[in-house]
Structures are given as C-alpha cells and as structure tokens.
Amino acid sequence: MAKKQSSLINMVLTLFVITTVAAVALGFVYYFTQEPISQVKEKRLKEALTKVLPEFDHQEAEEIDGTPVYKAFDANNQLVGTAIEAVTDKGFGGDVKVLAGFDTEGKIFGYSVLEHKETAGLGSKMGEWFQEGGKGNVIGKDLSTEAKVRKDGGDVDAITAATISSRAFCDVLNRAYATYTASGNTCAQQTEAEPQEEVKEEVAEKVEPTNEGGNDNE
C-alpha cells in the first residue's frame, strides 16, 4: 500500500477521522467504566466510614460550608454518629485531610487520614500515632476543650520530631468539631463557637521543654 500524500485535505481528514474515532472509543470505555468507578467510590467511602464510626446501617451525606458531613444511622433510623471530612492547610507539606468520626455525645470515635503530604517517617505517622493504642491517642476525647499538643498547653502527645504535623492534626480535629457543632447535633451546653486563634500564639512558645528530643524537624 502506498503512503498517503501530505496534501492539506488528506492531513485535515486524517486528523479529523483519528480524533473522532478516538473520542467515540473513549466514550464507550467511559460509559462502561462509569458504573464500576462510582461503585468503587461508594465502597471506599463506606469502608472509611466504618473505620471511624460505630456500627451503622446507612448514611446520609450533606455539606456544611463546603465541608462534607456524613450522618450515620442504625436500622431503626437512630443517629449513631457523624463523620466529618475536614481539611487544614497548616500541615508541614501542605493540606491535611482527615475523616473524623464523632459519636452522639460529641466524642471522637475514630479518625482516618485521607490525604497528607507530610514527611515520610515523621509527620506521615499521624495515621497510627493518634489511634487507640498509639502514643498520642485521641480516641474518646471530648473536643469541647480544643485539642492541642502538650507544647501548646494541651494534652495531646505530639509525634516525636513532628510538632507542626501534630499541630496540624489537632487543628483539623478542631475544625471537624466546629463543623460537627454547626451541623446541629451537639449536646446543648457547649455550643460556643470558640475563637480559635488567640490562645494558641501566646502559649505556643513558653512551655517547659518536653522530653520529645531537641531534633524537631517538622
């Protein structure tokens, strides 16, 4: 077969045909993968929720100020917990996104780090560090008093050599709790929307050095 000439018509026609065929073919693939992709997303959300919430039957998704909130109900339509997907930009390497689950009393039931860019081996430990049995366990904590690392006068044990990542983690929890209260299911007595900034800065510097080691990289 002879090679086609590079005339203008030939060139335009070839490109047009190729792109059209490609677009149609991709349309087909897209059509057939749409279903599995949305199923996978659903499944992963469900798995993430099961990790951070008490046993539940079905969930309802809503958004408060752009923050996704998932309310979980048992088979009798009783609320068993709320999960909030909170983000903070205070991380060492960028945004930290955490799915935090609260039980009906507003205590942390579980959390799962969805996204972070913290340094591997230091800040990246936040996925296990603050879990039950981890060194900085926050499970069961009541966040009506803000979560803070010990250096800042709080009672959360920071990750060794990764204070900034730990602060970011506390911040993300506090944000999640703020959304949790805003979502309306708080125990009535502690509705004050805490002004988050002021206390932090002053206490931050002057607390006696802890035994975390001087090598504070993050």
Q: Which residues bind another protein (CB under 8 A)?
A: 1-7, 10-11, 14-15, 18-19, 22-23, 25-27, 29-30, 33, 36-37, 40-41, 44, 89, 92-95, 119-122, 164, 218
Strand, coil or helix: 204 = helix
Burial of 17 (0-12, 13-18, 19+ CB in 10 A): exposed
CB of 85 to another protein, least distance (A): 16
- Our CB check for another protein shows the closer of 29 and 188 to be 29
CA distance 86 to 68: 8
- Our CB check for another protein shows the closer of 23 and 187 to be 23
CB of 213 to another protein, least distance (A): 14
- Our CB check for another protein shows the closer of 81 and 171 to be 171
CB of 186 to another protein, least distance (A): 27
DSSP string, 74-142: -TTS-EEEEEEEEEES-SSSS-EEEEEEEETTSBEEEEEEEE--PPTTTGGGHHHHTSTTSTT--TT-B
CB of 47 to another protein, least distance (A): 11
Nearest to 166 by CA among 134, 208, 142, 202: 134
Q: Which helix (H) or strand (E) holds 60?
A: strand 58-64
- Our CB check for another protein shows the closer of 90 and 141 to be 90
Q: Which helix (H) or strand (E) holds 159?
A: none
- Our CB check for another protein shows the closer of 17 and 207 to be 17
CB of 110 to another protein, least distance (A): 20
- Our CB check for another protein shows the closer of 33 and 191 to be 33
Tell me the Ramachandran region of residue 213: left when phi exceeds 0, alpha when psi lies from -120 to 50, beta otherwise.
left
Cβ 45 vs Cβ 37: under 8 Å: no
